[in-house]
Every structure is written in structure tokens, then in C-alpha cells.
A and B are shown apart, each in its own frame.
Chain A
Amino acid sequence: MSGFVMLAQPHHPKRDEVTESSPQTTDEAELIASAASGDMVAFRELYDRHVEYVTKNVARLIGPSSDLEDVVQDVFVSVYRSLDNYRGDSKFTTWLYRVARNVTIDHIRKQPKHKTVELSDWRPLRANSDTWSKLEARDLLRALYAALDNVPAEHREVFLLHEVEGMKLREISELTGESINTIAARVRRTREKMTSVLERKEREADHG
């Protein structure tokens, strides 16, 4: 792996949160090389630089969950064990995102489906106009992830990146390594799913 310097990019708040944690420099390239050869001090430095980035991306994918720390732990163990595979042909944070994504999607797939969503999570979606305005953001958060629970993890990922983080399809494609066509199809299907869930719950609310 060769060292390289990345030029600073124009500030784009939404994209920065998702795609970058800190600028990559030759210093980081050396850290990566040292960590790959087993230097735990270097690995610790990498961890300190990127743990928030990884945590945010894992959290976005799994939703509010007590498993967050466990999954972040699994991600970094996986990062350590596969650092040798990083060739420098993409940004380190892009590589890191993909490791995190794979580990998290694997975790989501192993969860028993019927246990991840509680009945109370659906309640906000059945609220009428009056009570809806009284809902707190945390209730809506759980409702959002309840609505996304039956959507495949990869679909959930691109939907959230597109609709919540405001990323363009091209940016999501660069980040995930999937084609724009695939990304667009996943966004489309998840939108349809979300719309049908919302409509169903709105009807349930109307009928009491």
C-alpha cells in the first residue's frame, strides 16, 4: 500500500458526516501500515480518529439498539484483522464504511425478526393529527425503524443515506460500491414500502 495525500474537499455538512471522519494524510497512511503489521498503539490511534464515524454509521443502520457497542466492537475487530486488505485505492473512510456496513448487515440478518420491533414502536404511526403533534422525536425514531424493519438491510441503508442524510445517488454509489441503478431501485422500493406502511397506519388511526 502506498502513501498518499488527499486534498481538502469543499465543505458539505451532510456528506462530511457520512463519508469522512478526518482528512487522510501520509501520516494516516503510515498509521494504517503500522496497525496492519500489528502495532496496537497505531491501531488505537486509528480507532480514536474513526470511532465516532463508525459509530454513527452503524447506529444509522441498526437504529436505536442496545447492541450498538457490540457491533462497533465487531467492526473494529474486523478492521484490525483485515487491514492488510486495504490497498489505498479508495479513501480509508470509504473502506472503513464498507467494513462497518458488512459487519452491521451481518448482525441485522442474525437478529430474530419478530423480536426486533415491539408493538409500542408502531403506536406513533397510528396517532391521529392531534396526538401526532405531541409525539417526541424518540418515538418517531423508533417508529421509523419499525417501518423499516421489514425492509432488507441494504435497502434500509440506501434509503437512510438518501432520505435522511440527503446524499445523492452517485455519492451513495461511491460509498457503498453498488451501482447507481441498484441504489435507485432500492430507494424506490423502500419509498413504496414506507408509503404503504404509513397509509395503512393512517387508516388504522382513522378507524380508531
Chain B
Amino acid sequence: MDRFTEEDFRRLAFDYLRGDLAPEVEERVEEHLVESEEFADHVTRLQELLQSPKKANADLVPDFDKDALFDRIATEINSVPAANVVQFTQPTDADEEPLNSSESRRSPLLYIVAAAALIAIGFAASQFWQSATVTPQIAEQTPKAPVAPKKVEETAPVPDVPAKPAQLAELELDQKSTESVRVFAGKSANWNLKKAKNQSEIDLEEGTVLVEFVPKRDDALELNTKHFNIRVLGTIFYASDDGEGSVGVVTGKVQVTPKSGEPITLVSGQEYVGGVGVRPMETKQLADAETHTSVEKHLDLLAEARVDRSKPKEATKPKQEPKKVVVPAAIPSNAPAKVWREEAAEAQRAGQYGIAAKVLERALVNLSANDPLRGAIRLDLSRIYINRLGQPAKAATHLKHFIESRPSDIATPTARKQYCKIVGPEGDPLLCVEQ
């Protein structure tokens, strides 16, 4: 047999460890292992390196909270608008709460999940959220012009002109800023920053702020106003109190929860304006924001923070509370409609749309026939069946009930249109005749 060079033996070491060598070659390698301490050392190191992923499996695959991870997955999935838009406006009954009506999806956007978030929160001085019919719209392929909300009874007056964008040019870095939370504020801004362990919280009472957030490890940031709660998901965003108030995202995304309404997720280049809805951010806004903090520099900071987080997480990290799973049977049958809807909304936030639908179906069974919120519940169900569960036939049933029971409701034309779109020529001709 030919002599093997040292280089040959080293090359054969891998297959030797796998047991893939022919017997005679394996024998030669083993002879060399005995002869050469250096080669034996090399093979030993190689073997131990290759075994390390199995032996140190806990370091390679550390435990994490899989329920919490799924929540984040569901949140991210839900932040992408759907292809079909179902829009409903608020029913006329004064007791009914405004619906979070519009949901639209567009093809997924690539966004940079930046650790820093600049939040500009503007909260409206007016009562636009009280009984207002607001239809936040998320643009599809190209951003659309802002849509003025429809007027309903007992609604605060809607502005005749689009809301003025937040003024970002004249902000200054505030001394209350910390290393991870930098706040640029206007002179008239009134805000304070609370920090507890890994959670920072800004209460904005008045004015405009631009916040840059560079989290270390598991830091989180929320910003509250009397009209919105904003959870920073990793972004640069701004908030303003001017006019009806506004929140805009320079890069990344935030979740905005109006005081009475469903959470809305904004992504890069979007702005939510009270009384108007979601619209694309003006170029000037982006330019003004960049005078205070560069997006590129911000992303570099995030990358550095990510490297700093490369050490294994501490074992003492508290386990997150598992997200509450809504069990329909747990809601008492005589619960008011508001409770049923709140439970369903919570199930939806958890991505549990099937459960949300069951809760609302049970609500319809248990509520009285005269309950003013039955209409809103039927619209909620229709939206869930169409947009989340892919069951348009069930949606059509509820839409038909709604149309027949509330022929003069402000939402009826839209409900009718959606019903007729689902059922097509097979539908009730009386409902689908041109009005």
C-alpha cells in the first residue's frame, strides 16, 4: 500500500472519526495515531470539537418561552395587511362602541426591526375618539390619500382639512434622556420617563417628542398618552400632540392602541393621525427626523447592541407569564355584550381567531334580541370569518342578519356590498338589488 503523508492522515481523520474508512486504511490511521503524538492530539481535538454541539446542547439550544415566541410571531403576521379589505363604519346606536373597522392586507414589506424607536405621539386635544367613526386605512401597494371619517350621530366634528403633520424640525435633546432612551422634545412638551429594570415608560402629557431607543438585552419601551398607548416593537418613531395628534414610524414598527379601539401596527413610512387614519409619512417628516438621528447610525447602534447581547442569557431571567387562553365556557352567560367583545378582542390579539369567533357566537346566543351591540358583534364575526378564518359563508350569514335587522344603519350599505360579493348570483335578490 502507498505511504500516506501527514497531510493525507489529517485529511483521513474526518472519515476515521465517522467510521467510514475501509478496514485496511483505518488500520493505517490507527497505527499512525500510536506513532505520532502530534497526530493523535490533532484527531482528539477534532473529535472533541465535533462532539461539542451534542455535549453542550443547552448552550447551543437554550430554553425559551415558546408561547411568548408564538405571540410575537402572531403579532408580526397580523401587522401585515390582508389582500381583501372589509370596511365597516360604526352603527348608529349611541351605546355601541366604535368598531375597529378597517383591515387591509398588502404584500409583506421588508422592514428593519431596529432596536431604537423614535416615537412621536400626538394625542388629540379634541374628542375625536369619542363615538367617532374612524376608519384607519392601511394602504395596499401604494399609499392612498387619507380618508376623512364619516359623520355619525353624536360625533365630534371631523376636521375639514387633513391634520397638520408633527413638527419635528425644532426639537432638542432633553436632559432627562438616558443612554438607551434619547428624547428630543419641543419646548412646550410635557413628559416624564420612568424606568424599572428592563422596562422604560414615557408618559407624554403635552407636545411633541422624538424618541430614540437602543435596548440592551431584553429592554422594552412603552409610551402613553391620554389617547394612545404605544408599544415599541423596534423602530424609530415620532409622536405629536398638535392638532388631532399623530404617530409616525421612520423605520421599523410600532403598535398604537387608541384608548377606545383596536391596536394598529404601523410600519416604516406610515403615520397614524387622529381623526384621519393611517397615511404615508411626508418626505419632510423623514428629513426632519433625520436631522436629529440618522437611520443608518441607528442601525449601527442596534447591531452593536445585538453583539453586546451575545452572551448567554442569565438563568435567573424570569419566565414570562403564559398568555391567557380565552376559554369560551368561562364567560358567564349573563355577561354584558361589552365583556364578550373584550374577551373576543383579547383572543384575537393572541392570534386565537377560532376562539374569538366562538366567544362571539356564544354572545349572540346569550344576549337578548334587543341588545344594541348584537349588530356590532355580527360585524365583528363577519370580519373574523372573512379575514382570519377564511369562512366567507359564515360571514355572509351574519351580514345578512345585520342587513335585515338594521336596514338604515350607516354600516348597512357596506355590509350589503360585502354580502353580495360573497354570495354572488346565488344570494338573496332583495338584498343585492341596487339601492
Contact = CB atoms under 8 A, between A and B. Distances in A.
Interface of A: 37-41, 43-44, 47-48, 51, 55-56, 59-60, 63-69, 72-73, 76-77, 80-81, 112, 115-116, 118, 125, 129, 132, 135-138, 140-141, 143-144, 147, 160, 163-164, 166, 191-192, 194-195, 198-199, 202
B76 interface: yes
A66 B62 CA distance: 9
A202 B69 contact: no
Contacts of B53: 60, 141, 144, 160, 164
Contact of A39 (B45, B48, B70, B353): B353
Contact of A38 (B17, B62, B64, B390): B390
Contact of A141 (B18, B52, B62, B388): B52
Nearest to A196: B10
B353 A76 contact: no
Given A47-B70, A112-B303, A164-B50, A60 B354 contact: no
Given A47-B70, A63-B60, A73-B69, A129 B41 contact: yes
Nearest to A82: B108
A164 B69 contact: no
A67 B56 contact: no
A67 to B, nearest CB: 7
Given A73-B72, A77-B76, A59 B353 contact: no
A66 B42 contact: no
Interface residues of B, number: 55
Nearest to A125: B45
Given A66-B313, A191-B14, A147 B388 contact: no
Give the dominant DSSP class at B's interface: helix
Interface string B65-82: 010011011101100101
Given A115-B303, A191-B14, A40 B353 contact: yes
A109 B17 CA distance: 30
A138 B313 CA distance: 14
Contacts of B335: none
A115 B302 CA distance: 13
Q: Most chain-B CB neighbours within 10 Å: which of A40, A76, A129, A144? A: A40
Interface string B325-352: 0000000000000000000000000011
A39 B353 CA distance: 7
Contacts of B11: 191-192, 195
A198 B46 contact: yes
A195 B50 CA distance: 12
Given A73-B72, A80-B73, A141-B55, 6 more contacts: A40-B353, A47-B70, A132-B41, A164-B51, A166-B18, A202-B38
B3 interface: no
B85 to A, nearest CB: 15
Contacts of A64: 56, 59-60, 312
Closest 10 CB pairs between A and B? A137-B55, A140-B52, A37-B390, A137-B56, A41-B354, A141-B52, A141-B56, A40-B351, A59-B61, A138-B56
A163 B49 CA distance: 10
B281 to A, nearest CB: 24
Contacts of A112: 303
B310 interface: yes
17 contacts: A37-B390, A44-B70, A55-B61, A60-B60, A66-B309, A66-B311, A67-B306, A69-B69, A72-B69, A112-B303, A115-B304, A135-B48, A138-B52, A140-B48, A140-B49, A140-B52, A163-B50
Nearest to A166: B18
A199 B43 CA distance: 11
B43 to A, nearest CB: 10
Contacts of A129: 41
A67 B66 CA distance: 15
Nearest to A81: B108
- Chain A CB within 10 Å — which of B11, B42, B73, B313 has the most? B73
A188 to B, nearest CB: 9
B355 interface: yes
Given A68-B61, A138-B59, A195-B10, A73 B73 contact: yes
Given A77-B76, A166-B18, A44 B387 contact: no
Contacts of B72: 73
B351 A38 contact: no
A124 to B, nearest CB: 9
A67 B42 CA distance: 32
